[in-house]
């Protein structure tokens, strides 16, 4: 009975949060209608459609895989240590290809790299139905490459078309990236419902991965037919020079250093939660009525609600540093409350406690939905654009080390590995909130007024890989 309640609550919350998000978006759209009239340019709208269809198709396809990734490994009868190793392989692969993508972007065309991204994602999905550990390890290597390439090539292709080919005003780019950010959230919610139906009907947990290459191929064909190739005009800069400039900026700007440190802790907390929520509810699952797809949609809906609330009229007069501080504190408290409801070991988890845990997780996702755009706006304000991709690659190293160490050390524990990871996530948010408090104090004393604005790129909702700014 409690499982039916959980599924019903998840349905109602996901739909209600989505409807509330639509309300906030429409309210904001009405307020900006006058300023957006100049964007009703036929060529601009045509370029938007040309970019949005394949981009959103790729992001939707990734989202339909997320709810059942852990479930798939579990039903292949792999233990916690083996599943943890598969996740860590994906994280390490992502770091390696994220660095290497800086080299690729300076030497090859963006359309080619977008197609390469789709190709690696298709290969990863094609290998998922095979239960061999070696094949799944190879699949996770391709997952890492896909996650590294899903951001910059798409963004840079559109930026080149927008500014160089069509010479549109740079301010108009905000409209496109905002549509992708919000559209990705809605599509991720739909993806959770979609996977729930296809897995329920087929009783085959690998079906979302079997279907994904079809959608990837559709996006690839559209890109081949509709996208012209473009590439960097400037001569390639050696990677060592790029990294030295990025590190030099951190040495000369303590504020940027604090922003990067806080970002590392926030992203680490997000990645740990992305990993742990599915095994946590897997321990609770005792029947066929429990749906990971619906729970995923519920979490994404809460994240999306936080994202749109962050840019609403309610927070318009609050600085980004203050929003970041508040969201990290709220997320930390909510996650600790959820942690306190979990028994040790989980085999003694009472059904009556599950709704409280889920609600705590929803508040955490709402807080993270507010934290990511606030952090991104601060990065845009204090870190020069040319240095941001390099610093993002550099920060992925400590994030991966932290996440991999926590998963490897705690998840195989026979006594509450999931609870220990939740507690580690709370500790990361504690350090993030301390850094956010320091940052807010410094910015307030220096007289900065970082009022929230749409960032020049966007964060994707919760996925199986580290969140990638586009």
pLDDT tens readout for residues 93-138: 999 998 888 778 878 889 999 999 999 999 999 999 999 999 999 9
Assign 210 a pLDDT band (cuts: 50, 70, 90): very high
- For residue 214, name the pLDDT band (cuts at 50, 70, 90): very high
295-343 pLDDT tens trace: 899 899 899 889 888 877 778 888 899 999 999 999 999 999 998 888 7
Q: Which of 22-36, 85-99, 299-313, 381-395 has the highest mean predicted lDDT (pLDDT)?
A: 85-99
pLDDT greater than 50 at residue 452: no
Predicted TM-score (pTM) of this structure:
0.88
pLDDT of residue 324: 94
Sign of the dihedral defined by the CA atoms of residues 144, 69, 76, 203, in that order: negative
Q: Comparing 286 with 22, which gets the higher pLDDT?
A: 22
Distance CA 165, CA 122 (A): 30
* DSSP code, position 458: -
Alpha-helical runs (H) found in 32-132: 42-65, 69-75, 80-107, 110-127
Per cent of the chain over pLDDT 90 is 46
pLDDT over 70 (residue 147): yes
Is residue 150 within 8 A of residue 115, CB to CB? The reply is: no
> Once rounded to an integer, what is the mean pLDDT over residues 385-400?
85
* Paired strand residues for 459: 469
pLDDT band with cut points at 50, 70 and 90 for residue 346: low
Of the CA atoms within 13 Å of residue 416, those in its CB half-sphere come to 14
What pLDDT was estimated at residue 453? 45
Calculate mean pLDDT across residues 20-38.
Answer: 58
pLDDT at 457: 41
Q: What is the mean pLDDT of residues 23-27?
A: 63
Contact 261, 391 (CB under 8 A): no
Q: Is the pLDDT of residue 419 over 70?
A: yes
The CATH number, out of the four listed (1.10.10.10, 3.40.190.90, 3.40.50.1370, 1.20.1250.20), of the domain defined by the range 237-460: 1.20.1250.20
Q: Do domains 14-27+42-234 and 237-460 have the same CATH topology?
A: yes
pLDDT tier for residue 401 given thresholds of 50, 70 and 90: very high
* Band of pLDDT at residue 3, cut at 50, 70 and 90: low
pLDDT of residue 115: 95
Please tell me the distance from the alpha carbon of residue 143 to that of residue 129, in angstroms, as a whole number.
Answer: 14
**What is the average pLDDT across 426-452?**
85
Please give the pLDDT value at position 89: 95
| Residue labelled with tokens 């009868």 | 77
SS3 content of the chain, % helix, strand, coil (to 5): 80, 0, 20
pLDDT of the residue at 271: 94
Rounded Cα gap, residues 252 and 26, in angstroms: 42
Containing H/E element for 28?
Answer: helix 2-31
CA distance 311 to 382: 19
Over range 22-26, report the average pLDDT: 65
Residue matched to tokens 């990677």: 239
Tell me: pLDDT of 455 over 90. no
Burial label for 356, CB within 10 Å (0-12, 13-18, 19+), is middle
CATH for the stretch 14-27+42-234: 1.20.1250.20
Compute the half-sphere exposure of residue 12: CA atoms within 13 Å on the CB side of its CA. Answer: 7
How do residues 68-89 score in pLDDT, each as one tens digit? Answer: 999 999 999 999 999 999 999 9
Mean pLDDT rounded to a whole number for the chain:
84
Cis peptide before 345 (omega within 30 of 0): yes
Contact predicate 297/461, CB 8 Å: no
Q: Answer for the pair 323, 349: CB distance below 8 angstroms, yes or no.
A: no
Question: On the CB side of 210, how many CA atoms lie within 13 Å of its CA?
Answer: 10
Q: Could you tell me the two tokens for 263? A: 């970002």
Q: What is the number of other CB atoms lying within 10 angstroms of the CB of residue 366? A: 25
pLDDT of residue 161: 92
| Residues whose CB falls within 8 Å of the CB of residue 112, separated by 6 or more in sequence, listed in order | 229
Cα distances (angstroms) measured from residue 201 to each of 8, 205, 429: 18, 10, 39
Domain extent listing, the chain: 14-27+42-234, 237-460
Q: Over the Cα atoms of the chain, what is R_g?
A: 21
DSSP single-letter state for residue 416: T
User: What average pLDDT does this structure show over 232-247?
Assistant: 72
Q: What is the pLDDT of residue 412?
A: 84
Cα 174 to the chain's mean position, in Å?
19
Is 229 within 8 Å of 112 (Cβ atoms)? yes
Per-residue pLDDT, 6: 60
DSSP classification of residue 205: T
Q: Average pLDDT for residues 334-361, to the nearest whole number?
A: 78
Q: Is the predicted pLDDT of residue 344 greater than 80, yes or no?
A: no
Nearest to 227 by CA among 389, 121, 123, 113: 113
Give dist(CA 371, CA 420) in Å, integer: 23
Whole-number pLDDT of residue 4 = 55
Query: Would you put residue 100 in left (φ > 0), alpha (ψ -120 to 50) or beta?
Result: alpha
Higher pLDDT, 20 or 417: 417
> From CA 65, how far away is CA 308, in angstroms rounded?
24
């Amino acid at each position: 009975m409690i499982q039916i309640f959980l599924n019903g609550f998840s349905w109602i919350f996901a739909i209600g949060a989505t409807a509330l998000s639509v309300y906030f978006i429409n309210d904001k759209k009405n307020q900006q209608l006058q300023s957006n009239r100049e964007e009703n340019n036929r060529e601009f709208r045509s370029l938007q459609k040309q970019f949005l269809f394949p981009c959103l198709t790729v992001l939707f396809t990734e989202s339909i895989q997320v709810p059942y990734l852990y479930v798939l490994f579990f039903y292949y009868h792999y233990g916690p240590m083996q599943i943890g190793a598969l996740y860590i392989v994906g994280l390490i692969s992502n770091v390696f290809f994220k660095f290497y993508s800086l080299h690729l972007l300076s030497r090859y065309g963006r359309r080619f790299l977008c197609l390469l991204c789709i190709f690696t994602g298709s290969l990863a999905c094609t290998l998922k139905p095979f239960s061999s550990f070696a094949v799944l390890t190879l699949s996770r290597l391709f997952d890492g490459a896909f996650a590294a390439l899903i951001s910059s090539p798409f963004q840079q292709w559109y930026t080149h078309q927008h500014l160089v080919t069509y010479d549109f005003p740079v301010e108009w780019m905000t409209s496109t990236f905002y549509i992708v950010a919000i559209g990705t959230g809605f599509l991720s919610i739909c993806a959770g419902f979609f996977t729930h139906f296809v897995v329920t009907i087929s009783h085959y947990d690998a079906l979302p991965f079997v279907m994904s290459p079809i959608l990837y191929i559709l996006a690839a064909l559209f890109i081949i037919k509709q996208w012209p190739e473009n590439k960097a005009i400037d001569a390639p800069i050696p990677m060592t020079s790029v990294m030295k400039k990025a590190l030099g900026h951190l040495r000369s700007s303590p504020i940027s250093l604090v922003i990067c440190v806080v970002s590392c802790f926030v992203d680490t907390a997000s990645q740990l939660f992305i990993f742990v929520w599915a095994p946590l509810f897997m321990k609770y699952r005792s029947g066929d009525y429990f749906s990971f797809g619906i729970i995923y949609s519920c979490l994404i809906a809460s994240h999306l609600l936080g994202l749109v609330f962050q840019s609403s009229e309610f927070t318009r007069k609050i600085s980004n540093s203050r929003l970041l501080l508040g969201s990290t504190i709220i997320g930390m408290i909510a996650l600790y409350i959820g942690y306190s409801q979990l028994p040790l070991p989980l085999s003694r988890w009472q059904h009556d406690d599950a709704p409280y845990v889920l609600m705590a997780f929803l508040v955490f996702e709402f807080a993270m939905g507010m934290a990511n755009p606030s952090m991104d706006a601060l990065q845009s304000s204090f870190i020069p654009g040319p240095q941001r991709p390099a610093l993002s690659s550099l920060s992925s190293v400590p994030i991966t080390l932290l996440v991999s160490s926590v998963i490897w050390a705690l998840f195989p524990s026979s006594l509450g590995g999931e609870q220990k990871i939740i507690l580690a996530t709370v500790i990361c948010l504690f350090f993030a909130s301390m850094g956010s408090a320091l940052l807010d104090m410094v910015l307030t004393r220096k007289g900065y007024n970082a009022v929230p604005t749409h960032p020049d790129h966007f964060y994707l909702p919760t996925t199986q890989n580290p969140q990638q700014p586009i």
